[in-house]
Amino acid sequence: MTAVLLWALAQDPDLEAVLEFERRVRACAEKVRPAFVFYGQGSGVVISPDGWVLTNYHVAGNRRGQRVRLAGGRPFTADAVGWDVHGDISLCRLREAKDLPFCELGDSDALRVGQAVLAVGNPFMLGNRNWEPSICLGVISARHRYMDNPGYFDAIQTDAPINPGNSGGPLVTLDGKIAGINGRIDVRRFASRVNTGIGYAVPANQIRRYLEAFKAGGRVREGCIVGLTVGEAGDPRLEGSGAYGDGVLVAAVTEGTPAARAGFEPGDLIVEVEGLRTPNLNRFHGAVGNWPQGETVRVRVRRGGGEQELRVLLGDPAWIRERQMNLLPADLGFLPAGEDDADGVRVRSVAGEGPAEKAGMKAGDLIRAAGGTALRGWEDLREILSRLRPGEELRLVVSREGKELDLVLRAAPR
């Protein structure tokens, strides 16, 4: 007994506790380093064995055919597939990739201030000779940091040293999961660009909500509610708006916009977007920007003593349609207008010498039926068009100046 106690006393329990922490950091480093990508002047991280890579838009942009390297030096060619210019994320794909080491996206809403994190990156491009990434330890300093221009609306702040070259690299929790993508720092003098203990990462949960849109390809824009004029509760210019922190006050709703269609009314107090509380304008924009345009989100409002849940389409419908048209498999040569006609789809413009023009379509036409199916709006037409392959034909019924016309649209052969 005495011997056992003597042995126990000889151990240093303080040191053991710290060594246990060290073991976790080392294990995490071992896990995440192989999934690191040297991406041009910046960093990136593999998120799937078949080569999907996350980085910053300001690192990868929308470029195709970039030579990148996995930690250790294995070269790949990367193509940017989807990107968010304001939110500063590009999703890229490595060509001919399989069975790659990767990091999973974690749950950034579950992060705690003070929690230990590692920033993996290539600061000052120090690893460009032997392709060894760098890891730095820090903590979560704050969550939900709001920055306009560009829109880091819901950033994680960390004191894990982030320096030039770290951009696009992952901020990981000690279980090896991605908390966010590091992208910005605050420095006293921009010219020096050396970390001062203030770095920002785009949160994993926001990225996850954009992933599907990124994979579909092209530019993805951050969500906004078109048609709302909002103010902050407690703003002295808004009489009787309550106290600061209560929520975001709807001052006006523009007719014919997604906000009006969703049923917002002046005087509504917005308190939650998809379960995220919106105590002020920054958090409101941050929460809405957590989803890409084209998504429909649930918004809780206080109205007349009660609460209501509204569902609203994020973004400008015209832009969303344009994007969806661009992503259709076949080239059709026309763009739908933004307005939502209950009895068809209005044509905004027809491209010169394209398939739609050859079929006789004109701007202003209302497409009422396609392939024998009557249309109740854009979603119906999109469904039909998405099945159309290059070279195939589609019969359309359009109304023009009170007359009904039959058109045969032949999708351009590839």
Partner 1 sequence: MTALLLAALLGTRGDDPSEALGRVLARLRERAARSVVAVEVERSDDPEGGGFQGQVSAHRDYYNRPRGPVSGVIYGPDGHILTSFFNVSGRIRPGGLRVFLPDGTSRPARLLGSDERRDLALLKIEARDLPTLPKAAPGEAAPGAFVALVGRSPDPRVPTINLGIVSAVERMGGTALQTDVETNYGNAGGALVTLKGRLAGVACHVHPESPWGQSGGVGFACKVAEIDRVLERLKRGERIEAEKVPFLGILPGGGDPDAPGLQVGLVVPGSPAEKAGLREGDVLVGIDGAEVADFEDFRGALLSKKVGQEVVLRVRRPRDRARKEYEELRLRAVLEGRPGE
Residues that bind partner 1 (CB under 8 A): 1-2, 5-6, 8-9, 12-15, 17-19, 21-22, 25-30, 33, 64-67, 69, 75, 77, 118, 123-124, 126-130, 132-138, 160-164, 192, 194-197
Q: Which is nearer to partner 1, 119 or 398 (CB)?
A: 119
Q: Which is nearer to partner 1, 9 or 342 (CB)?
A: 9
Q: Is the bond preceding residue 133 a cis peptide, omega within 30 degrees?
A: no
Strand, helix or coil at 265?
coil
349 among known catalytic residues: no
99 among known catalytic residues: no
Q: Which is nearer to partner 1, 163 or 280 (CB)?
A: 163
Q: How far is the CB of 55 from partner 1 (least distance, A)?
A: 17
Q: Which is nearer to partner 1, 49 or 75 (CB)?
A: 75
Q: Which is nearer to partner 1, 128 or 308 (CB)?
A: 128
- Among 84, 88, 154, 246, the active-site one is 88
Contact 134, 127 (CB under 8 A): yes
Contact 321, 336 (CB under 8 A): yes
Q: How far is the CB of 122 from partner 1 (least distance, A)?
A: 10
Dihedral of the CA atoms 13, 17, 23, 25 (nearest 10)?
Answer: -160
Q: How far is the CB of 136 from partner 1 (least distance, A)?
A: 4
Q: How far is the CB of 29 from partner 1 (least distance, A)?
A: 3
Contact 294, 320 (CB under 8 A): yes
- Among 90, 108, 141, 167, the active-site one is 167
Of 87, 159, 101, the residue nearest 133 (C-alpha): 101
Q: How far is the CB of 397 from partner 1 (least distance, A)?
A: 45
- Among 48, 58, 79, 341, the active-site one is 58
DSSP H helical ranges for 234-354 = 258-262, 281-288, 317-326
Dist. CA 280–CA 241, nearest whole Å: 12
Going through 73-150 in order, the beta strands assigned E by DSSP cover: 75-84, 89-94, 116-121, 134-147
Q: How far is the CB of 208 from partner 1 (least distance, A)?
A: 26
Q: Which is nearer to partner 1, 138 or 247 (CB)?
A: 138
Strand, helix or coil at 165?
coil
Task: Calculate the alpha carbon distances from 287 to 107, 172, 193, 210 in Å.
Answer: 15, 22, 30, 13
Q: For tokens 């989100």, what's the residue?
A: 297
88 among known catalytic residues: yes
Active site residues: 58, 88, 167
